[in-house]
Amino acid sequence: MLKAKQLKNGLHYHLVPFSGTQAVTVLVLANVGSRYEADKVWGASHFIEHMMFKGTKKRPSNLDISKELDRYGAEYNAFTGKDFTGYYVKIASDKTPVAVDLLHDMLVNSKFDAKELAREKKVILEEIKMYEENQILHIRDLIEQVMFTGTNLGKDIAGDAKSIIKMKRSDILAYRDSYYQPSQMIVVVAGAIPKNTKQLLEKTFGSIKAQKIQLAVREHVSEIPDQNQIRLTRKYKDLKQIQIALGFPTPGREHKDMPAIHLLSTLLGGMMSSRLFVEVRERKGLCYSIHSSVSNFEDVGAFTIFAGLDDARLSDAMKIIFKEIKKIKQNGVDRKELQKTKDHIEGAMKLIWEDSSAQANFFGSQQLHLGYMKTPEQILKEFQDVKVSDIKRVANEILRFEKASMAAIGPYKTDADLRKCIPNI
């Protein structure tokens, strides 16, 4: 296990030097996301991410920020999740001081100008519309809504039109100040790291004053109860190609079975030779896209199967999906198929780790959420240690239809219209 070091104010940082690149990624992660928001600031984490690019005293406008980074051909962006917010700059190694100084300036000195804030509300409202009208993206929101209904995990990260319009500047600033402090942040620098990088971080991020502010109590999502029918949510759209998602709850990210659960997802729907891809698309031609994935939070997660297909083919596709789930629960997997899946994950991870941004995310997210960091070698060993018997066991523990939820975007006016396409559980 690795432990991040700390600057003089307690802010964690981690340096990840590696050869074969002339680039550096500077990533700042804050331990805040939409699941920590009260109703009056629903969408604030994402709103704050936008406002960080709108100007500081040193760089008064968005154009001043973008011009400085564009001058050096840098890649830069930010992202908000349900339990994290991130900001990064990927830049030539000799320009590392520019990236560090700019990110520090944005995160500490952004003005949150009232006129700019009002203007950005309109931008965010358009972004919300964009996601709602992109079925492939929106289905992901819908499945988490039905799986985690009644909790903040079931609410969209960006908020909704009503919450954004009503949100007050004073509430946004109070929320920002509660979480954007040294104890809740980590800076990761990965790539061809200059020798004076620690001094750069100490001079900038190390100067942030720690505040004694009580953080909001984070809700704990309890176990989803069994039911006689699959939980449903749907959005009516007269589409030629519908989108569906079938979700099963998983344990949180630190659970010992997570490597086996990720392997199960990969061999079912994580590659072009996976069982669902071969059976539903290649052999039966019932869909264009089908895949599975696993997402995790501190206390809970989701194992989800996604598909895009013609409405007339949904019943046939669902029969095969259910059949493949039952098959792996009953028969498990043989050693050859399991080893192929392990090799796939190892190869994919090694390709990703060639990039400084991926390295920064890999280590930073672990430190932020777990308080420690595993090396790539340790992660790969955990996958290699998974046994054939583990796959069958976790399949029976996770892929339980009595805990399943389903979301659909398509021509379904009632739950009954959709439910008739689902096999009996």
What's the confidence (pLDDT) of residue 212?
A: 74
What's the confidence (pLDDT) of residue 225?
A: 82
Beta pairing partners, 249: 302
Distance CA 142, CA 225 (A): 19
5-207 and 231-419 agree in CATH topology:
yes
Cβ-based neighbours of 77, under 8 Å, separated by 6 or more: 87, 88
Task: Note whether 62 and 110 are within 8 A (CB).
Answer: no
Residues of the chain scoring pLDDT < 70:
214-218
Strand order from edge to edge, sheet including 75-80: 5-6, 12-17, 185-191, 23-30, 85-92, 75-80
Look up tokens 């006016």; give the residue: 413
CATH of span 5-207: 3.30.830.10
Query: In degrees rounded to 5, what are phi and psi of residue 24?
Result: -135, 140
Task: Pick the closest to residue 7 from 289, 202, 194 (CA basis).
Answer: 202
For the chain, the structural domain boundaries read: 5-207, 231-419
pLDDT tens, position by position, 281-325: 999 999 999 999 999 999 999 999 999 999 999 999 999 999 999
Give residue 112's region: left, alpha or beta (phi > 0; psi -120 to 50): left
Task: Pick the closest to residue 286 from 241, 239, 236 (CA basis).
Answer: 241
Task: Note whether 184 and 11 are within 8 A (CB).
Answer: no
What's the confidence (pLDDT) of residue 224?
A: 80
Q: What is the CATH topology of the domain spanning 231-419? A: Cytochrome Bc1 Complex; Chain A, domain 1 (3.30.830)
Angle formed by the axes of helices 335-352 and 258-269, to 10°?
Answer: 100
Distance CA 411, CA 310 (A): 11
Task: Return the H-helix or E-strand segment holding 421.
Answer: none
Buried-state track 338-372, b at ≥16 Cβ within 10 A, e below 16: beebbebbeeeeeeeeebbbebbbbbbbbbbbeee
Pair of tokens at residue 219: 């809700």
What's the confidence (pLDDT) of residue 313?
A: 96
What's the confidence (pLDDT) of residue 210?
A: 83
